[in-house]
Structure 1
Amino acid sequence: MLPKNLFSLLWNFVIFITFFINQSFGSADLIKRDLSLSRSNEPKNILATSIFGGKPVVGISTDLYELTSSPYKSNPIFGCHVNMENESFYGRFKCAIINPLIKTLALREPLKGLNAKRASVGIDQHWDFLGRVSNRLMLSNNFYGFEIPSSESPLHQNIGPVIPDTFPGLTPILDSFLNAHPRTIYFALGTNAIISPQNLANSSSQITCILNNEYPHIHISKFSPQLAILSHVNTKLFLSHGGAGSSHESMYTATPMLVLPIFGDQPRNAELLESAGIALSISRANLQVDDIVSKVKRLLNEESFKKNAERLQFLAKINSKRKYRAADLIEIVMNTAKYQGVKDENGGFKVDNENLLRDWITPDTRMGFIRGKYLDVYGAAVIIFLVLLGGFTYTLWKISYFYITFRKENRDSQKSLNLKKKRK
């Protein structure tokens, strides 16, 4: 059973969560963030460096489902489940045909703008979002057991979860707080769920008290060593936005999650976590105190969440060793470039990324759709089968016809003889 005072604490806590989310997404005047590769104002494009400089390219992503040809994998942001295995015909048709068409139409204008930027820096236009990465080594910071299994190209390698072998420890304040609270809920929504200074200034005195760490059972920190907190024995639950890193660290530490997905890959991760039996999710569009309290109780008390967390922890720890495999794969690409590249005037190597990893590219991609799928061979086999079946059927029909005709003529002849005998 949970302590009685925990529920009064949860009421204050979920009021804070509701305030945080409503204020975060209720105002258009958000704190601006800027991400850049350099301080210059020149166009920034990682791929441009590869195209111009002829350097080998290796891609990395949290999941590669967009690159797979598995129609049973989808995304909740398109109104589909991550796993279409048990969906109706209409659901599968909508997610495999209708939604991709809508997505393609919606992305036409952004793609035009992107191609204009490409042209401004001398890069050829490209109308396929995935075309430039189709023949590159793509590393996925993911693992089966969490991700839905599928047949992948040799160029697509799961190397996750990438978890550091060493990580920052707890500060004395956090260590003291966790030791004093044997059933702690850790709450973090990543870096992009932000609120404006105006919203903070207009917050209620109750929320201000919490933000100023004046409430003894809630601690607010500007920076938290997340892996250290999740590894602490007193951290029983993780309320998270469901980002890939947070999801992996939660599984690595066997910490059940209450997920509040916001955007990007988070809705998909939330559904995967629920399917794995380690989490429950809540909607930022419909935050209800009773719903949050009910799900917290389930996550803390139901044994299935603990068992699934331990099962996934084993998988996460085993698969986390594959980050060294990722380093080896990058070394392979660089070594291949050394032998297949062409030296430029500066002594460096220029490579053609389309053909750099030719030995890894499955031959069907170079054979064309019909030959690559062996449709010509299978089609010929079907035609031969139909011809043989037709010939066999025709021969059987002719034999049957001759037999029936012979029997009929024989009966007619016998009747004629009998009639002649009677006349005599």
Structure 2
Amino acid sequence: MLLKYSFSLFTLCRLIIFILFFVHSAFESQVSSQFIQRDPLLNRSNVPKNILATSYLGGGSHLAPMSEILKILMDRGYNVTLAAPGNFTANSHSYRSIPQVIVSKKAGTELGNQELMKKMFLEETNVRKFSGAFDHSAYTEYYKIYKQTAEEINVDLFFCDIGMNFACFDLAWELKKPVVGFASSPFFAVIPPPYKSDPIFGCHVSMENESFYERFNCAIIKPLKLAWLFISMADNMNSQRVKLGIESYWNPRARMDNILILFDTFFGFEIPTAMLPLHQEIGPILSDTYPDLTPALDSFLNTHPRTMYFALGTNVFTSPQNIAILLKSCLELINHNIIDGVIWATVKTNVTELMSLSDVDSPISDILNNNYPHIHITKFAPQFAILSHENTKVFLSHGGASSSHESMYTATPMLILPIMGDQFGNAEKLELAGMALRLSKLNLTVDDIVLKIKRLLSEEGFKKNAERLQFVAKVNSKRKYRAADLIEMVMNTIKYESVKDENGALSVNNKALLRDWITPNTRMGFIRGNYIDVYSTFIVILLALVGGFGYVSFKTTKFLYAKYKGRTINSKSKKE
């Protein structure tokens, strides 16, 4: 009887559950019928598909982030071609799928005058030396190669690395094709606000805490001193343009107005400023995969829990004397148990010159021959993998953009020895952000290096700030897809805003193509756009009202005083 009762109760429970499930399903069906699914798919039919990306300087720091965006665009069905110096894509595991036109066998700093480059590496660097290091006559060669490539692929859009790459922007405007710019920093691409500058001009990246004299000097005096240099540069470029029948212009940013420019940077690292819709920060651009540690490096890191990674990039070098000081500093740090290991990627370091500096008391020769147990030397190193390892505690770097981004992404505090170009500005930004300290290539000492490494490892603030920036870097690293989206938006605009020329090719007006992105003040002119006429009129009216009120008050007071004085005199005369 009890068994029968239990069976009936079990059946009743199942029946109740079934009824509840049926009612819930019916209710969900009724609710869902009140909504529709959003369609996220883009209509890419009849959208122009041919993109030519170009770089004057080439090298990984310029081409790797651009190539990341190009890969995304290729996955979305666009036809991309890269025109740049050096055989970059063929030598890269990540970007071999991108076809490349090799503009020059040399790339990066190898393109410049080697004597001037050496002076910049070893002496004080400024914009005058930098501008004179590169041959402006290469403009003609690059322009012709770009043009031939553009015709062969029937280009629809140019994607131009900004550095010294005037030929790309000029060609885009000549062919009436849309152009998108790319740079690691907004400083040279747009006019910065007065509170931002750069060490290459002899100023600081942030003028916030500078004296009136320094702010006046960097905002007025130094630009006036550099004006002649920019005029000379523009004159050299215009002489090249005339040979090709291209219209001359003196404003170096003339072809960058009213176009989309992508910056491989982000606030937190970059000094914050208001950005126009046409100027978009999409960094840090990083690859999704990187080469792993070699067995030798993996073994070294696992047996050295406080390792310093030392690398000066693939383009620059410092003097043998400075390298000797750095190596002696490494030995000092190891001997005092501040660190227990060093990985050194030599890249461009001349080991033969270093051998001549070794002495009996210094084991530099043993180090250079990889016979010193706590220092591992390799020509090239899988940098991101080394920085990602938990035993890498500090990064001694030149402060290039890619190295800075990777160090922030892996939360590795930095000791920076800037050599040239944007490295000085990057070093200042990272020091201001609280995750790095700087060295001077002109005044390098063992004591200074040891003291700063001690601080980086012992003071918690450096690691905490590195971890703070790591979070920001990881969030913003997704924006390379946003960069591809923005380029797609420009491509889609061509579909509606272009016209066909006599040959049936699409042509656009770059001044008006992205008018929906262009702020109205740029079309209104300087006076109207900044409301100077309105504010000036208001000030005049205000001054007139204040002056009028003051004049009336003065006259009224004078009249009342005269009347009062006259009454007083009359009163006295009557009493007499």
TM-score by length of structure 2 reads 0.63
Residue 167 in structure 1 maps to residue 324 in structure 2: no
Q: Is the 8 A contact 2:317 2:349 kept in 1?
A: no
2:122–2:441 Cα contact (<8 Å) kept: no
Matched, 1:322 2:479: yes
Q: In structure 2, what is the equivalent of residue 141 of structure 1? A: 264
Q: CA deviation at 1:209?
A: 4.1
Secondary structure at the residue paired with 1:237? strand
Per the alignment, residue 436 of structure 2 pairs with 279
Q: Where do residues 33-44 of structure 1 align in structure 2 (5 Å cutoff)?
A: 42=144
Describe the shift of the 1:102–1:394 C-alpha distance in structure 2 as closer, same or farther (beyond 3 A): closer
**Is 1:376 aligned to 2:537, yes or no?**
no
Question: Shift of the alpha carbon at 1:157?
Answer: 1.1
- Which stretch shows the higher mean deviation, 319-328 or 237-246? 319-328
**2:169 maps to which of 47, 51, 72:** 47
How big is the shift at 1:99?
A: 1.0
Which residue in the other structure is 2:400 paired with?
243
Letter in 2 for 1:262: I
| 1:290 counterpart (447, 458, 461) | 447
Corresponding residue number in structure 2 for 1:109: 232
Q: Is the 8 A contact 2:277 2:518 kept in 1?
A: yes
> Are residues 209 and 307 of structure 1, via their aligned partners in 2, closer, same or farther at CA, if it must alter by over 3 Å?
same
1:109–1:418 CA distance, 2 compared to 1 (3 A): closer
Paired residues, number: 392
Amino acid at match of 1:378: Y
CA distance in 2, matches of 1:271, 1:379: 39
The question of whether the paired residues in 1 share the 8 Å contact of 2:398 and 2:416 is answered with: yes
Q: Give 1:214's aligned residue.
A: 371
Aligned to 1:389: 546
- Counterparts in 2 of 1:318 and 1:347: CA distance versus 1, 3 Å: same
Q: Which 10-residue stretch deviates more, 104-113 or 406-415?
A: 406-415
The letter for the 2-side match of 1:276 is A
Cα distance between partner residues in 2 of 1:197 and 1:416: 105
Distance 1:375 1:112 in 2: 33
Residue 83 and residue 41 in structure 1: after superposition, are their counterparts in 2 closer, same or farther (change >3 A)?
closer
Q: 1:226 to 1:109 in 2, by over 3 A?
A: same
The match for 2:186 is 64
Alignment of 1:119-268 (within 5 A): 119-194=242-317, 199-204=350-355, 207=364, 209-268=366-425
Separation in structure 1 between the aligned mates of residue 261 and residue 143 of structure 2, nearest angstrom = 29
The offset of 1:417, in angstroms, is 4.8
- Once the 2 structures are TM-superposed, how far is the Cα of residue 348 of structure 1 from its aligned partner? 3.4
CA contact (8 A) 2:351 2:368 kept: no
User: How far off its partner does 1:122 sit?
Assistant: 2.4
Query: Which amino acid in the other structure matches residue 152 of structure 1?
Result: M
After alignment, is 386-395 or 206-215 more displaced? 206-215
1:125 shift after superposition: 1.4
User: In the TM superposition, what is the alpha-carbon distance from 1:174 to its structure 2 partner?
Assistant: 2.0
CA distance in 2, matches of 1:276, 1:122: 48
One-letter amino acid matched to 1:390? G
Identity %: 57
- Residue 378 of structure 1, CA deviation: 0.9
| CA distance in structure 2 between the partners assigned to 1:55 and 1:254 by the alignment | 41
Q: Assess, with a 3 A threshold, how the Cα gap between structure 1 residues 282 and 182 changes in structure 2: closer, same or farther.
A: same
Say whether 1:398 aligns with 2:547. no
TM-score using structure 1 length: 0.84
Instruction: Report the 3-state secondary structure (helix = DSSP H, G, I; strand = E; otherwise coil) of the residue aligned with 2:272.
Output: coil
Aligned-residue offset at 1:219: 2.2
Q: Which has the higher contact order (CA 8 A, sep 6+)?
A: 1
Q: Give the deviation of 1:257 after TM superposition.
A: 0.4
**1:213 Cα deviation after fit:** 2.8
SS in 2 for 1:389: helix
For residues 197 and 299 of structure 1, do their structure 2 counterparts lie closer, same or farther at Cα, with a shift above 3 Å needed?
Answer: closer
In structure 2, do the counterparts of structure 1 residues 369 and 334 end up closer, same or farther at CA, with 3 Å as the change threshold? same
Q: Secondary structure at the match of 2:378?
A: coil
Map Cα deviations across residues 382-409 of structure 1 (whole Å, 9 max, x no partner).
Answer: 1111221222222223332333333334
Q: Could you tell me which runs of 5 or more consecutive residues in structure 2 were left unpaired when the two chains were aligned.
A: 1-117, 124-133, 147-166, 319-346
CA 1:236–1:126 in structure 2 vs 1: closer, same or farther (change >3 Å)? same
Classify the secondary structure of the residue corresponding to 1:255: coil
1:297 counterpart SS class: helix
- Per the alignment, residue 360 of structure 1 pairs with 517
Of 214, 219, 222 in structure 2, the residue corresponding to residue 99 of structure 1 is 222
| TM-aligned CA deviation for residue 167 of structure 1 | 2.3
State the distance in 2 between where 1:407 and 1:198 align.
93
- 1:61-119: CA deviations, max 9, x gaps? 11112313411101112211111111111111111111112222123333222212222
The structural deviation recorded for 1:183 is: 1.2
How far the C-alpha of 1:290 sits from its partner, in A, is: 1.7
Offset of residue 227 of structure 1: 1.4
Q: Name the aligned partner's letter for residue 189 of structure 1.
A: L
List runs of 5+ in structure 1 lacking aligned partners.
1-20, 27-32, 420-424
Distance across 2 between alignment mates of 1:72 and 1:352: 34
Deviations 1:46-73 (A, max 9, x none): 2243123322111111111231341110
- Partners of 1:323 and 1:243 lie apart in 2 by 19
Q: Is the 8 A contact 1:43 1:121 kept in 2?
A: no
Mean CA deviation greater in 341-350 or 76-85: 341-350
Structure 2 counterpart of 1:394, one-letter code: Y
Are the equivalent residues in 2 in contact too, given 1:68–1:152 (CA < 8 A)? no
- Distance in 1 (alpha carbons) for counterparts of 2:406 and 2:143: 36
Q: What secondary structure, in the 3-state scheme, does the structure 1 residue paired with 2:182 have?
A: strand
Letter in 1 for 2:234: L
Aligned-partner SS, 2:280: strand
CA distance in 2, matches of 1:81, 1:198: 29
Aligned partners of 1:216, 1:160: CA distance in 2, in Å?
Answer: 39
How far has the Cα of 1:40 moved from its partner? 8.6
Deviation (angstroms), 1:208:
5.1
What secondary structure sits across from 2:421 in the alignment?
Answer: coil
Given that 1:76 and 1:268 are in contact with CA atoms closer than 8 Å, whether structure 2 keeps it comes out as: yes
